[in-house]
Amino acid sequence: MRKKVTIPQLITISSPICLLLLWEFCSQFEILDPRFFPAPSLIIQTLMQMGETGELFTHVTVSLTRIVFGFLLGVIPAICIGLLMGMYRYFRHFFSPIIMIFMPIPTLAMLPIILILFGIGEFSKMITIAISVFFPVAINTAAGVANIDKIYVDVAKNYQANAKDFFFKIALPGSLPVMLEGIQMGQAIALLTIVAAEMIGANSGIGYLIWMNYKAFLLPQMYVGLLLISFFGYFFSLLLRGIERKLLLWK
């Protein structure tokens, strides 16, 4: 069965195409300076070339590895601490000030300390991502637990749920919708952080690719880096949305 393309879908697809066409046109006819704004067709060409040499692949895998491991390194403790904060008052009182103190500091501002503590290897990049992901996820998880309707807590109590059952049957699934919003946010922040971190203190990765090509004034190559970030950002949010849909069938 073939799906019919609806008008809203057509409009959605048309806007990026229009933008690209406009860009291509302006660049080709030098309305925009093609040295700074190379035509999309040229950027795609450059992408192909860089892909063939295999150089691109290394940068991408390096960045993705950092993101995936850093993300997990941040999300897992964030969920645990968030759930505990949501469930137990004393945990909340204990951890809130610590989170409030560290949250306003941009993780990038802590990069020097991270480099001192963890060296200049891969682990320090993962830690940087982990820290930046930790806060939105922990806070949203705690808020998710706090938002669980009181009546379900009463139901669990009335039907004699023990602490473990309460955790897995009520607190975890009940906080999931808000927690997943936090994870979505964390995903966006992770991408932001890794690119910036790679610009400052790395010699591989997509951020490094952008920065080095800018310095060498190889702007089409730089745009390839930007294109990749846009692509992966979109890909990750689609992936998370898919997972969300699977997990929140009951919503």
Partner 1 sequence: MSKIEINQLSKKFIKRDKFIEALQDITLSIQPGEFVCLLGPSGCGKTTLLRILANLEKPSSGEVMIHQKDKEKPLQSMVFQENGIIPWLTVEENVAFGLKMRHLPSAYIKERTEYYLYKVGLTNFKRLYPKELSGGMKQRVSIARAFANDPEILLMDEPFAALDEQNKFILQEELLSIWQETKKTVLFITHSIDEALLLSDRILLMSSQPGRIVKDINIEMERSRSIEKVRSDSAMTDIFLDVWEHLQNEVKQARL
162 counts as binding partner 1 under rule CB under 8 A: yes
**Closer residue to partner 1, CB minimum distance, 30 or 165:** 165
**Per CB under 8 A, 251 contacts partner 1:** yes
Figure out which of the listed residues 35, 157, 241, 245 binds partner 1, where binding follows CB under 8 A: 157
Per rule CB under 8 A, is residue 164 in the interface with partner 1?
A: no
Kindly tell me which residue out of 144, 174, 186, 225 binds partner 1, with binding defined by CB under 8 A: 174
User: Using CB under 8 A, which of the segments 36-44, 159-167, 199-207, 235-243 binds partner 1?
Assistant: 159-167
Largest CA distance in the chain: 74
Q: How many CA within 13 A on the CB side of residue 153? A: 10
Q: Does 165 bind partner 1 (CB under 8 A)?
A: yes
Shortest reach from residue 183's CB to partner 1, in Å:
17
Q: Segment contacting partner 1 (CB under 8 A): 103-111, 163-171, 222-230, 234-242?
A: 163-171
| CA distance linking residue 137 with residue 133, whole number of Å | 7
CB of 154 to partner 1, least distance (A): 6
Which of the ranges 30-38, 55-63, 146-154, 235-243 carries the binding residues for partner 1, by CB under 8 A? 146-154
Question: Is residue 156 part of the contact set for partner 1 (CB under 8 A)?
Answer: yes
* 146 touches partner 1 by CB under 8 A: no
Nearer residue to partner 1 within complex by CB, 35 or 157: 157
Regarding 154 and contact with partner 1 (CB under 8 A), the answer is yes
Cα dist from 218 to 39, 95, 173, 213, 224, whole Å: 14, 47, 49, 5, 10
| By CB under 8 A, residue 159 contacts partner 1 | yes
Q: Which is nearer to partner 1, 47 or 180 (CB)?
A: 180
Binding partner 1 (rule: CB under 8 A), the pick from 1, 5, 7, 249 is 249
Q: Which residues bind partner 1 (CB under 8 A)?
A: 149, 151-152, 154-162, 165, 169-170, 173-174, 176, 249-251
